[in-house]
Amino acid sequence: GEQVEQLPSILRVQEGSSASINCTYENSASNYFPWYKQEPGENPKLIIDIRSNMERKQTQGLIVLLDKKAKRFSLHITDTQPGDSAMYFCAATVRGAGNKLTFGIGTRVLVRP
Amino acid sequence: GALVYQYPRRTICKSGTSMRMECQAVGFQATSVAWYRQSPQKTFELIALSTVNSAIKYEQNFTQEKFPISHPNLSFSSMTVLNAYLEDRGLYLCGARYSYEQYFGPGTRLTVL
């Protein structure tokens, strides 16, 4: 199986600054790490992901880093905007476990104007 | 683009009754479908993984007798919550997988009275 720890649980940032969320996993066979954003009353939406053959990926103000040795991956939101306020979930899939994603507990990001 | 529809979006049922929810992948053929429950203040609990032409794998604390799933083709899956009670409340999410990516539907919110 897999266990995913996610920190912090709440993150308050000033608009324009960056926000960072960190996750760790246990199973070295995990090979896919997606990040989901969930706004109140909405379903979680895939915003960025990274596979184990990469260390860094960037798209539209989002950067995800993967450190396989430390079994750690992180999401960095650059130049935060009020619209970035939401719950963010990290997840990991173990190779060979099919569709099974193990999720972190979530981080509530609050962007102050 | 990849879209996942779920029906109904919200449902209310009396304690002890059953309700069925559906999941439809549009624009892609899902290699597998995962059903999750997101309870208040909790992260995502995986209920079961379903792959067409393979046995459905239920997670611990979830059984086929309680959550029977039908997955007849690569685009459609349904799950029934039998004899629903208060602890079954929550947002039931269908995650349809294409390659590595898993896309969630909007969820079916179940309220049990």
The per-residue pLDDT for range B17-71, each reduced to its tens digit, is 999 999 999 988 888 899 999 987 778 889 999 887 788 999 988 999 999 999 8
User: Does residue B2 surpass a pLDDT of 70?
Assistant: no
Place of tokens 């799933």: B69
Band of pLDDT at residue B5, cut at 50, 70 and 90:
very high
- pLDDT attached to residue A80: 96
Band of pLDDT at residue B102, cut at 50, 70 and 90:
confident
- pLDDT attached to residue A2: 83
User: Does residue A96 surpass a pLDDT of 80?
Assistant: no
User: Does residue A97 surpass a pLDDT of 70?
Assistant: no
Band of pLDDT at residue A101, cut at 50, 70 and 90:
confident
Distance from the A88 Cα atom to the nearest Cα atom in chain B, whole angstroms = 11
CA dist B49 and B33 (Å) reads: 6
Higher pLDDT: B75 or A64? It is A64
Do the Cβ atoms of B43 and A49 come within 8 Å? no
Q: What is the mean pLDDT of chain B?
A: 90
Distance from the B42 Cα atom to the nearest Cα atom in chain A, whole angstroms = 7
Band of pLDDT at residue A41, cut at 50, 70 and 90:
confident
Please state whether beta strands A10-14 and A107-112 pair in parallel, antiparallel, or not at all (unpaired).
Answer: parallel
CA dist B14 and B3 (Å) reads: 31
Band of pLDDT at residue A33, cut at 50, 70 and 90:
very high
Do the Cβ atoms of B43 and A106 come within 8 Å? yes
Determine contact, residues B21/B9, Cβ cutoff 8 Å: no
CB-defined contacts A:B, below 8 A: 52
- Across A16-23, average pLDDT: 97
Exposure letters B67-97 (e unless 16+ CB within 10 A, then b): bbbebeebbbbbbebbebeeebebbbbbbbb
Higher pLDDT: A64 or B41? It is A64
- Across A34-46, average pLDDT: 90
Do the Cβ atoms of A99 and B43 come within 8 Å? no
